[in-house]
Amino acid sequence: MAVSNNLTAILNFIAFMCSIPIIAAGIWLASKPDNECVRWLRWPVVFAGVLILLVSLLGFVGAYWNKQSLLALYLCFMAILIVLMLVFLVLAFVVTRPNGAYVVPGRGYKEYRLEGFSSWLRDHITSSDNWGNLRACLAASQVCPKLSQDYISAEQFFAAHISPLQSGCCKPPNICGYQYVNPVMWINPATTIADPDCSIWNNDPNQLCYNCDSCKAGLLGNLRREWRKANVILIVAVVVLIWVYVIACSALKNAQTEELFDRYKRGCCKPPNICGYQYVNPVMWINPATTIADPDCSIWNNDPNQLCYNCDSCKAGLLGNLRREWRKANVILIVAVVVLIWVYVIACSALKNAQTEELFDRYKRGWV
């Protein structure tokens, strides 16, 4: 079995095994206490894991048993999977790029404004059609009651790095000036006109700030944070899939041209098969009655220093060997180029972030 077939089989087996934790990660992503109310979150990751599992299994069988039809089918499905994952990644990066967080002076946590998140997330997650069910789920969850168990004093709570969801739903906005009693109970200030959410806050555990815009923003902040973690896993998966796809293309080519390579590899050490020589040993053959079937037939010589070294078939065999070795090298070079392109894209993003970090910080502080 060719080297690329071996690599394809091994990498697809690894991808098959890795798809299991990807599926588990999708379920874990939605089963976290602060994400339990948006359960559809897990399906994109779970769906990607199942597709990787099925496609990698098909690729493993095709490469290991050198089945040309299975390899061709595998490459078709793999191309579709890579395109789907790239589209999903682009969408995920676009909708999670805006960040509604801003720093609260003297607090370990941040607060969030709904306007700071992408319109797509606001329209599809926190619209009036969806928020009623989400609000009821949040009120029934342990997201806010858990804070009372974890933090006793005001100093502990104000220094805590609570989740965006807890920051937005379980307490009034800092700008309202409420006085702390415990994480889910606050004393009303003299006036509540600083922010519309100030008058919505209620110490009733079933209400709290679940109707506040800050709660909706906190939910989006949670989604953004979790999806940016998932994006890292998906980027690695896409890079690996592209690498496997390139190697699998080489494996398919090997399956299609195996017979041709075998003929080229034996071009120098034996006469062409068409000549009709009779076998004695691998480098000694009995001349046929006629040698006009191919020009190389009359060039063959049993002398170990001559054999078919002057034959066109020997030259072709040398070129076939070079072609085979360079195709192996090309796989490595293609993978290196793909990785370098990804590193370049990420580095460009890092540079852009470094250039605009100060501007973002200034805008965030301007909201306080």
Per-residue pLDDT of 303-344, as tens digits, reads 888 888 888 888 888 787 777 778 777 777 777 777 777 667
Q: Is position 92 within any domain?
A: yes
Torsion angle of C-alpha atoms 136, 139, 140, 142, degrees rounded to 10: 150
| Whether 18 contacts 69, CB under 8 Å | no
Taking residues 240-268, report their average pLDDT.
Answer: 66
* Geometric angle at alpha carbon 190, from 186 and 193, rounded to 5°: 95
pLDDT cut 90: percent of the chain above it: 18
Residues 76 and 196 in one domain: yes
Q: Round to whole Å and give the CA distance between 201 and 52.
A: 46
Per-residue pLDDT band at 229 (split at 50, 70, 90): confident
pLDDT at 37 over 50: yes
pLDDT at 345 over 80: no
Taking residues 6-33, report their average pLDDT.
Answer: 74
Residues 201 and 56 in one domain: yes
What was the pLDDT predicted at 356?
52
172 is in which domain, residue-wise?
1-242
Q: Round to whole Å and give the CA distance between 48 and 41.
A: 12
Taking residues 204-212, report their average pLDDT.
Answer: 93
Residues 229 and 94 in one domain: yes
Residue with tokens 């605009």: 356
Residues 217 and 290 in one domain: no
Q: Round to whole Å and give the CA distance between 26 and 72.
A: 29
Residues 279 and 150 in one domain: no
Residues 213 and 300 in one domain: no
Tokens of 127: 């619209």
What was the pLDDT predicted at 368?
41
| Count of Cβ atoms closer than 10 Å to residue 231 Cβ | 15
Residue 66 φ/ψ region, left for φ over 0, alpha for ψ in the -120 to 50 degree band, beta for the rest:
left
Considering just the CA atoms, what is the radius of gyration of the chain in Å? 33
Instruction: Classify 203 as helix, strand or coil.
Output: coil
Residues 28 and 81 in one domain: yes
